Amino acid sequence: MTEHTDPTDGQAVVFITGAARRIGAEIARTFHQAGYRVVIHCHRSRTDADALALQLNEIRAGSTSVVSADLTDEHALSGLGDAVLSCHQRLDVLVNNASSFYPTPLPSLTQVQWLDLMNSNARAGLFLAQQLAPALSTTAGSIINLTDINVSRGMAEFSAYTMAKAALGAMTRSLARELAPRVRVNAVSPGAILWPEHTQASAAQDAEQAGIISGIPLGRLGTPADIARTVLFLARDATYITGQNIRVDGGRALG
């Protein structure tokens, strides 16, 4: 029975969805620095993904690969697991980070929006787990899902998004039971880390952001590195933790 590989031997492999930019890219850098080989997934950000892979491969040749797929496309998703395994012929960690995020006020919510948010945030993670569970079982690996502290708090005008993230949280707990004892499954729930890219600068927006920060006991935004280090901990060090969700939110969920 093969045990989890020490990443410092240059063999362990992590696959991160939505890893070309922002938090996903920081997770890729963090795992790479820890000795993992990295498979970066992207969809529309291929230029950014290739630039990140080039940067990491300059540090350690042959250590990083890129796969591209639309996670909301059933055909593209069905072949993604094989594409990932073809990069390094093994897998130790699956990080389901990719996510669509935008408001869906109830009066204007559409079926297309619902499907996009559910597919990118929940369905993709489930079917990637299905495709990659045998490889992860071989390496005694793990799955880490990126959820959101607002699943339990609720978000006005974001019902479809929070429902999709809630589904991902439920999947985390169920797969932790189903894939034990060979594969651990956990989640990380970021709080306020980066402002959404669709945010428009304005006095009202500045006031809203200041209000959010005032409600964080630690008094500041988190950083992508805060999330990446937590994901690495769950993958590499937390060998007796499964089915759990770690909030990385500066205490915001306290109330």
- Nearest 5°: the CA angle 174, 247, 212 is 135
**Do 95 and 124 meet the contact criterion of CB atoms below 8 Å apart?**
no
Among 36, 102, 161, 240, the active-site one is 161
> Is residue 240 flagged as an active site residue?
no
Question: Which residues neighbour 223 within 8 Å (Cβ) at sequence distance 6 or greater?
Answer: 193
Q: How far apart are the C-alpha atoms of 14 and 238, rounded to whole Å? A: 16
* Residue 46 one-letter amino acid: R
Question: Which residues neighbour 227 within 8 Å (Cβ) at sequence distance 6 or greater?
Answer: 23, 26, 27, 146, 188, 190, 193, 248
Q: Is 16 exposed, middle or buried (0-12, 13-18, 19+ CB in 10 A)?
A: buried
- By annotation, the residues acting in catalysis are 161
